[in-house]
Structure 1
């Protein structure tokens, strides 16, 4: 938190859009600074590619430069950053200035990836991150759920700014994607969403966060996830943030507290004094890079227990 919100002091030393959002939420709940958040948002909008894509990461030394990595799900997070900014500051001017850039990310992604039936096409031409451990994670439903969630911010921001054309488009995208997800991917016997026969925590939690389900349906899904022995669990605190947010949105405070103590607390019990980039409770040497030495031991996207403590437990 000096020049930008770096993802970590060890390896990348970059500003990542997914990390920025979580760091900004913690900042709003603690320090309350706005200048650095604003600077980071400007950097992402100012370094978009010639075809309009916002970079997923960037460097600032010796001069600001995009990191030449473009993740289809990360680019949508810029809109969520704008909404979080508005909620904390009440300042619409930055939102008005950056809205077109942020909304264009949805247009670009859906032009390339949204099929007529509402399915999201996944291929190697444009990486949809979702989480590490990719070899286990089906991407189509995971992307649909994540995109639907971030579309909710596009809808709210378009309503706030009176952007009628963009509001209509965002609602249309949202309806197509969520309708397909519920009709094609929901397993009624399990009471969970699944893709290729696999149930994933991240997918189901993003469906909960998307608002496409009732509160009762959301609570049922979270309970079914907790009792499932086969559901694929996240491997990063980044995704566990959204699991925690699902509990928070549903009013499941006991489960939220339990998750914080169980997952982040497990790192502390294993000797951590800063939170790690990735963590599997049953595999202390897990690494998305095939070498645990490369895993960041102090990582930006792992910071959000303080946000939840300040917002939901004070």
Structure 2
């Protein structure tokens, strides 16, 4: 073993020492929670009303086989008998998140009984057309937005939970033969913590990229609530992987850096105090609390999120305060999970003190091998940590990390670069996937020329595993741009995110597999899918930050 190896090995061994019996003090984490509280935003509220009556009609060319077609009748809703109308589907004109209420009024004899309605909300037209029952989803039935609403003599009803939708279907299922009514008001109070600042694009920007940027902003806006939520319909949580992408998009659009700061502090304040590791996600209400799962790749992205925040704001005070949290993710993961060959060889490794540890990267349609991806992700995190350390005047603290980065890259190149076929392979079965290839490029396991060869090879391979989510596709575009494949990146954004726009998306979706619109990781039950999802919002980041690629 070389001297440099001994230095790195000693650094990694320190991670397992008893000196880290408690990484963060109770007072320290409480202070972080208090700072997160000071950054809690006041939500902006816009009062909206339905703009059209629509019919949801079958169309084999539409997303999931259904589209909304406007028809006359919005004024009739407020003047004519709904008892005769019986059912209506309303369009609010855009996707919204917030509180919904409605009020009815008598148009004949006074209301003499409690009225019952069935109300269903949809983010996309198919939400109102596909059958809910039998419910076969793998998540809670409670995520679905279908309600029974009883309206008493005051004639008003307010939904007791926040709604995420564009469409609202109302059906009268219990009325009185002695009275009649119409609607007096239907209100959607849409909320967001986004600012009024939006992306600035050159006049030469092609319309498709303007549209993609607009839908990106819509998606991010509706996911910006008290925290950066992953999806306002489901899961309504702050997930670290989504946060990384939302924070990037935020730098190109709304520039609400206080919300990024709040999320960074919340995650740190709720981290495992003993081992220092960050839980994968948290719920904001009634009090912020973490779900006790550990996603290795998400924890490493905390490093990048903090580094990006520092670059965007110059806020060295926050970055210095949270430095120990970012550094700890690298120290523990590298110290515990690397083998003697500097490889993250066991992707199923369970970290002490964490109930569940996993390497994620994507909900792929086919089981994904993550060995090459996590090797690249760790190497990238080390690089970002070193760069941030230099900017913060902590160069001495990351002196040995350059060698660690070199060892990770060399080991990854030797293990996963198929020189003969010019591609990245991952795991014992030498699996080929877009994700492994993207992260090998991002992490520097291959050089730029090898990266270009690998990306071209994987995209030409009909058997290679494609991404299942916009989240994973983001990193493929990032890899293309890193190794100089500007035209390919432009084409991919136009084809993939532009594909959703052409299918009518006004916010981007949790899943989009172009050849299978019915894909869902929830036991194939698409009604659980989120159609406004944070990890799909990043094209606007690329469009703004690479103007020579996307704005001409």
Give the TM-score normalised by structure 2.
0.55
Equivalent in 239, 248, 251 of residue 25 of structure 1: 248
Check conservation: 2:376, 2:445, Cα contact below 8 A.
no
Asked if 1:123 corresponds to 2:348, the answer is yes
Equivalent in 521, 537, 548 of residue 288 of structure 1: 521
Q: Which residue of 2 aligns with 1:40?
A: 263
CA pair 275-234 structure 1, distance change in 2 beyond 3 A: same
How far does residue 133 in structure 1 lie from its aligned partner after superposition? 2.5
Larger radius of gyration: 2
How far does residue 134 in structure 1 lie from its aligned partner after superposition? 7.7
Equivalent in 233, 240, 243 of residue 466 of structure 2: 233
User: 1:118 & 1:159 partners in 2: Cα distance?
Assistant: 24
Asked if 1:182 corresponds to 2:408, the answer is no
Q: Which residue of 2 aligns with 1:111?
A: 335
User: 1:250 & 1:116 partners in 2: Cα distance?
Assistant: 30
* Structure 1 segments (4+ residues) deviating >6 Å: none
Equivalent in 53, 56, 62 of residue 286 of structure 2: 62
Check conservation: 1:276, 1:299, Cα contact below 8 A.
yes
Asked if 1:88 corresponds to 2:322, the answer is no
Check conservation: 1:8, 1:298, Cα contact below 8 A.
yes
How far does residue 98 in structure 1 lie from its aligned partner after superposition? 0.4
User: 1:166 & 1:279 partners in 2: Cα distance?
Assistant: 42
Check conservation: 1:19, 1:300, Cα contact below 8 A.
yes
Q: Which residue of 1 aligns with 2:183?
A: none
Give the TM-score normalised by structure 1.
0.94
Q: Which residue of 2 aligns with 1:100?
A: 324
Q: Bigger CA drift: 302-311 or 145-154?
A: 145-154
Check conservation: 2:366, 2:465, Cα contact below 8 A.
no
Q: Which residue of 2 aligns with 1:214?
A: 447
User: 2:300 & 2:431 partners in 1: Cα distance?
Assistant: 25
How far does residue 27 in structure 1 lie from its aligned partner after superposition? 1.0
Check conservation: 1:128, 1:139, Cα contact below 8 A.
yes
Check conservation: 2:364, 2:466, Cα contact below 8 A.
no
SS in 2 for 1:136: coil
Bigger helix share = 1
Superimposed CA distance per residue, residues 111-140 of structure 1 (whole angstroms, 9 cap, x where no aligned partner): 321111122122263201111128521122
Q: Which residue of 1 aligns with 2:394?
A: 163
Check conservation: 1:145, 1:204, Cα contact below 8 A.
no
Q: Which residue of 1 aligns with 2:435?
A: 202
CA pair 6-228 structure 1, distance change in 2 beyond 3 A: same
How far does residue 165 in structure 1 lie from its aligned partner after superposition? 4.9
User: 1:27 & 1:185 partners in 2: Cα distance?
Assistant: 34
**Corresponding residue pairs, total:** 314
Check conservation: 1:7, 1:15, Cα contact below 8 A.
yes
How far does residue 175 in structure 1 lie from its aligned partner after superposition? 2.1
User: 2:482 & 2:418 partners in 1: Cα distance?
Assistant: 23
Q: Which 5+ residue runs of structure 2 have no aligned equivalent?
A: 1-223, 351-356
SS in 2 for 1:12: coil
Equivalent in 520, 534, 541 of residue 307 of structure 1: 541
Superimposed CA distance per residue, residues 176-225 of structure 1 (whole angstroms, 9 cap, x where no aligned partner): 22111111221112101102221111111111112343322222222222
User: 1:155 & 1:30 partners in 2: Cα distance?
Assistant: 28
Superimposed CA distance per residue, residues 90-109 of structure 1 (whole angstroms, 9 cap, x where no aligned partner): 22221111011111011111
How far does residue 43 in structure 1 lie from its aligned partner after superposition? 0.6
